[in-house]
Structure 1
Amino acid sequence: MSDQTTIPAEKRTEFGKGAARRIRRADKVPAVLYGHGTDPVHLSLPGHATMMALKIQNAVLTLDIEGETQLALAKDVQRDPIKRFIEHVDLVIVRKGEKVTVDVGIHVEGEAAPETVVTVDHATLTVEAEATHIPETFTVSVEGMEAGTHITAGQVELPSGVTLVTDPEALVVNVSQAVSAEALEAELAEAEAEAGIEQESAEGDEAAEGEASEGAGEGDDEDKTEE
């Protein structure tokens, strides 16, 4: 379930890219808090504490905003594409007992039957859950499963109080037969033959051999002339 971490927050009155850069240089994170019909509140959060708290997907934070506490769900976390530090956080006001719609990741465990391949078609499921009881992940076991096994969203076990929003028939995990190296080589050879790659290669080799023979013959004629 999602953790609730208390984060001290400061209201900010400066906006724009320049203000955001100054906040980050001070090892803080710009954020905005909204929801429940209230006006957005612009905040700055401590960098390290925020980074640690947001390692958990769908983290619920207890914000201490200048002495007043407020529960908030991390709705959108923007990170630098290269350095991966947090650039900005969108927070949504939530209340205990309130249900929210979130995406929760799928964790696959176990070993399927030999010579099979396990493919995850849906990496997350959309569910409705209490804001303070959001699962961190959904675990799906593929232990011993044979080729041809399909696991749909409706077959994933959900904790009590969590309701599936994703289509129950959506394919989540697919266990298929692994392609052997021999079969793969045969398919490749067949594809190349259909594309005429082997024929073109053979013609190219014959042409190269012919040119080499002609070159050698010319060289012999020149030698004879010089003699």
Structure 2
Amino acid sequence: MSEQKLAAEVRTEFGKGFARRARMAGQIPAVIYGHGAEPIHITLPAKATTLAVRTANALLSLDINGEGHLALVKDIQRDPIKQIIEHIDLLTVRQGETVTVDVPVHLSGETAPGTVHNLELTVVSLEAEATHLPTAVEVDIEGRGAGEHIHGSDLVLPKGSVLLTDADALVVNISEAIEEAAEGEEGAAVAGAPAEAASAE
């Protein structure tokens, strides 16, 4: 994943009042921490930042008063109603450094006819190089049959990544869809019984 370049400004004001004024001015309050350094409180341009953090574990290349900082998005606080970004926590990283991230699991393909799949783990934890973070772990379920299971150890990981999630953890479970259909037919029969009785009267 390539880093997104953004211009940031150091801020000296804090609190809800400042945060509200910053958002009205098209800015998002944020803080950078890590490597034992003092946290850096900044504001980021709202529109560009919102676009930049659409993917999980976005890597930002920040220009702060002419000084470059690489930072990984660790937490995004949003308004529960409007869903606008209220605050961002950033972790400073260095080229070549490895970090721990949660990466979403994406499924591709269709299982065999008459089967259904259940995604048991929507994210897995990986250790990866900070400037080459994967955006997802792809799992191909094309043609897989009932009774098949995909565990952590079966995942094809992006290059340079190490699985931290338990290797025995169940990621995808594939089962027959017949029982579900049979239950639906049985339910329909039961629902139809009173109507038949009523018509007989």
Q: CA deviation at 1:180?
A: 4.3
Partner of residue 123, structure 2: 124
Q: Report the number of matched residues.
A: 194
Partner of residue 87, structure 1: 86
Instruction: Summarize the Cα distance change of 1:189–1:169 in structure 2 as closer, same or farther, 3 Å threshold.
Output: farther
SS at 1:24 equivalent? helix
AA of the residue aligned to 1:68: E
Partner of residue 195, structure 1: none
- Taking the TM superposition and a 5 Å limit, the aligned residue runs for 1:43-54 are 43-54=42-53
AA of the residue aligned to 1:143: E
Partner of residue 145, structure 1: 144
- Taking the TM superposition and a 5 Å limit, the aligned residue runs for 1:34-113 are 34-113=33-112
- CA distance in 2 between partners of 1:111 and 1:182 (Å): 22
Partner of residue 213, structure 1: none
Instruction: Summarize the Cα distance change of 1:13–1:130 in structure 2 as closer, same or farther, 3 Å threshold.
Output: same
- CA distance in 2 between partners of 1:30 and 1:66 (Å): 16
Q: CA deviation at 1:3?
A: 2.3
Q: CA deviation at 1:82?
A: 2.1
Partner of residue 133, structure 2: 134
Once the two structures are superposed, residues 119-170 of structure 1 have per-residue CA deviations (whole angstroms, 9 ceiling, x without a partner) of 1000011000000011011110110111111000110101221100000000
SS at 1:90 equivalent? strand
Instruction: Provide the alpha-carbon RMSD of the alignment.
Output: 2.0
Partner of residue 11, structure 1: 10
TM-score scaled to structure 1, two decimals?
Answer: 0.80
AA of the residue aligned to 1:123: T
SS at 1:88 equivalent? strand
Partner of residue 155, structure 1: 154
Gaps of 5+ in 1: 193-197, 210-227
AA of the residue aligned to 1:121: E
Deviates more, 1:143-152 or 1:180-189: 180-189
- CA distance in 2 between partners of 1:49 and 1:40 (Å): 22
Higher helix share: 1
1:186 equivalent to 2:179? Answer no
- CA distance in 2 between partners of 1:5 and 1:180 (Å): 46
Partner of residue 224, structure 1: none
- CA distance in 1 between partners of 2:187 and 2:36 (Å): 60
Q: Calculate percent identity across the aligned residue pairs.
A: 51
Please identify the structure whose Cα radius of gyration is greater.
Answer: 1
- CA distance in 2 between partners of 1:18 and 1:44 (Å): 14
SS at 1:167 equivalent? coil
Q: CA deviation at 1:184?
A: 3.4
- CA distance in 2 between partners of 1:159 and 1:55 (Å): 20
SS at 1:161 equivalent? coil
SS at 2:21 equivalent? helix
Gaps of 5+ in 2: none
Partner of residue 114, structure 2: 115
Partner of residue 173, structure 1: 172
SS at 1:23 equivalent? helix
